Amino acid sequence: MIRKVKGTRDILPPESRLWGAVEAKARRVFEGFGYDEIRLPVMEPTELFVRTVGEGTDIVSKEMYTFADRKGRSLTLRPEGTAGVARAFIENGLGQRPQPMRLSYMGPMFRYEKMQRGRYRQFSQIGIELLGASTPQADVEVLLALHTFLKALEFDDLVIVLNNLGDPEDRDRFIKVLKDELMPNREKLCGDCRRRWTENPLRILDCKVETCRELVAHTTPVADVVSDEARTHVDAVAQGLEALEIPVRVAPRLVRGLDYYLRTVFEVISPALGEDTVICGGGRYDRLISDLGGRAVPGIGFAIGEDRLIDVLPDSFKHRVLDVPVVAVLPLGDEAAGSALGLTVQLIEGGLRAPAEVTGRSLKASLKWANKIGAAVALILGESEIEKNQVLVKDLREGTQEAVARDAVVERVRRLVGEGDS
């Protein structure tokens, strides 16, 4: 047997229904805020990620699926979406369109990571990017869109954590403060952090090793070192969120695993998954497009890890999606089969889910199948029903049945399964 590649997943029904429902909700909410979908390639030139996500990051240094194509060009399966959006913005002259640009995307990303719950090598993100607005109001809007989406999925226990990373000019100053404070204990840092010391010292703040966490807990927060402009910006974001009653928690040592961020950075954590399995990450990246050779276009956005989001979906939302009533259409004999499919179409047009029996089973076996697929109602169509232009409507939950005139069936079934006459 050929098995799937390690770190990839088969998403089977009925779970796949949840994915569809979450994506539909994302489209509805983000379109409402004015975000239009951008569909981008899953492979990009490797250089794109090296120059944006950053050479010293875990993603670029050890997690990318990079390969040479047949002409020897180095390509990479996208590990994230923002770099591709920035590339497409420049390449397609999106700066010529009315600004700001609001773009959304969803789809697979690839990172060669160590497998654990919520950590896959192919995973899906749902993200939005707001390009061409540098005001705190833009940050507030992006976080409001995130909050609105999570609320639409009926979450009530997720926490948005927020930090101020300052501007790139503040970064060197902060790194010096951090290193000075950690220097006396440098030897106690884990091997990874000793490597980060030279390659990407900010990431020491994000280390999961307990001794590193303790050492880091006593260091000066980055927000204390940032410029007045950066402080004013992120303070205004926090105030804007408060005015909208969006609860956020300030996380003074929050840093992100990608180099392009400045000022506002945030994550969403779920009590169910713990602080290390983040549901969503995002922030501001005002230098990304100019670093790639475009004009100075500011940006802010986020990406939600869809696999993780679905793992912790509230039961109320899941029930709403999964417990939709099914009506099984059961024809008896060849003549009834064609008529049954016609009936199926009528039911579907009436807003019902109505799979038909197509394997030619006996009535007994058909009813067994209907029960197995969880049908609430079975519609039986035999020769005599066709003759009388009727359908036998069997309520499988109540065990009752009645003959109903063919043209009244859809309404009758809708009422039976609680779709009422809405």
Burial 388-408 (b: 16+ CB within 10 A, else e): eebbbbbebeeeeeeebebee
Which residue number is nearest to ligand HAM in terms of Cβ?
305
Nearest to 123 by CA among 153, 155, 88, 78: 78
Residue 269 Cβ vs ligand HAM, minimum distance, rounded to whole Å = 9
Instruction: Return d(Cα 88, Cα 294) in angstroms, integer.
Output: 11
Radius of gyration of the chain (CA): 27
Residue 278 Cβ vs ligand HAM, minimum distance, rounded to whole Å = 4
Task: Out of 84, 136, 201, 282, point to the residue binding ligand HAM (CB under 6 A).
Answer: 282
Find the helix packing angle between 315-322 and 15-32, rounded to 10°.
110
Neighbours of 170 (CB within 10 A): 21
Question: Contact between 149 and ligand HAM (CB under 6 A)?
Answer: no
Window of 80-88, 212-220, 238-246, 388-396 that interacts with ligand HAM by CB under 6 A: 80-88
Task: Out of 129, 139, 259, 357, point to the residue binding ligand HAM (CB under 6 A).
Answer: 129
Question: Contact between 298 and ligand HAM (CB under 6 A)?
Answer: no
* DSSP code per residue over 217-242: HTSPPGGGTS-HHHHHHHHHHHHHHH
Question: Contact between 240 and ligand HAM (CB under 6 A)?
Answer: no
Question: Contact between 264 and ligand HAM (CB under 6 A)?
Answer: no
State the number of binding residues for ligand HAM (CB under 6 A): 26
Task: Classify 202 as helix, strand or coil.
Answer: helix
Window of 36-44, 95-103, 125-133, 202-210 that interacts with ligand HAM by CB under 6 A: 125-133
Q: Which is nearer to ligand HAM, 148 or 277 (CB)?
A: 277
Neighbours of 30 (CB within 10 A): 24
Task: Out of 54, 84, 127, 240, point to the residue binding ligand HAM (CB under 6 A).
Answer: 127
Question: Contact between 126 and ligand HAM (CB under 6 A)?
Answer: no
Window of 26-34, 122-130, 331-339, 347-355 that interacts with ligand HAM by CB under 6 A: 122-130
Q: At 310, list the tokens.
A: 């679905």
Nearest to 378 by CA among 409, 350, 407, 408: 409
Instruction: Return d(Cα 111, Cα 131) in angstroms, integer.
Output: 25
Q: Which is nearer to ligand HAM, 154 or 311 (CB)?
A: 311
Question: Contact between 257 and ligand HAM (CB under 6 A)?
Answer: yes
Window of 16-24, 160-168, 296-304, 364-372 that interacts with ligand HAM by CB under 6 A: 296-304
Task: Out of 113, 167, 192, 335, point to the residue binding ligand HAM (CB under 6 A).
Answer: 113
Q: Which is nearer to ligand HAM, 111 or 196 (CB)?
A: 111
Task: Out of 307, 328, 378, 391, point to the residue binding ligand HAM (CB under 6 A).
Answer: 307
Residue 148 Cβ vs ligand HAM, minimum distance, rounded to whole Å = 17
Task: Classify 312 as helix, strand or coil.
Answer: coil
Q: Which is nearer to ligand HAM, 271 or 351 (CB)?
A: 271
Question: Contact between 308 and ligand HAM (CB under 6 A)?
Answer: yes
Instruction: Return d(Cα 249, Cα 3) in angstroms, integer.
Output: 43
Window of 75-83, 194-202, 207-215, 414-422 that interacts with ligand HAM by CB under 6 A: 75-83
Instruction: Return d(Cα 185, Cα 100) in angstroms, integer.
Output: 46
* DSSP code per residue over 347-390: HHHTT-B-PBP-S---HHHHHHHHHHTT-SEEEEE-HHHHHHTE
Window of 303-311, 327-335, 343-351, 354-362 that interacts with ligand HAM by CB under 6 A: 303-311
Identify whether the C-beta of residue 173 lies closer than 8 Å to the C-beta of residue 292.
no
364, HSE (Cβ side, Cα atoms, 13 Å) = 0
Question: Contact between 201 and ligand HAM (CB under 6 A)?
Answer: no
Adjacency order of strands within the sheet including 43-45:
43-45, 74-77, 65-68
Find the helix packing angle between 334-349 and 409-416, rounded to 10°.
60
Residues that bind ligand HAM (CB under 6 A): 80-82, 111, 113, 118-120, 123, 125, 127, 129, 257-258, 278-283, 301-303, 305, 307-308
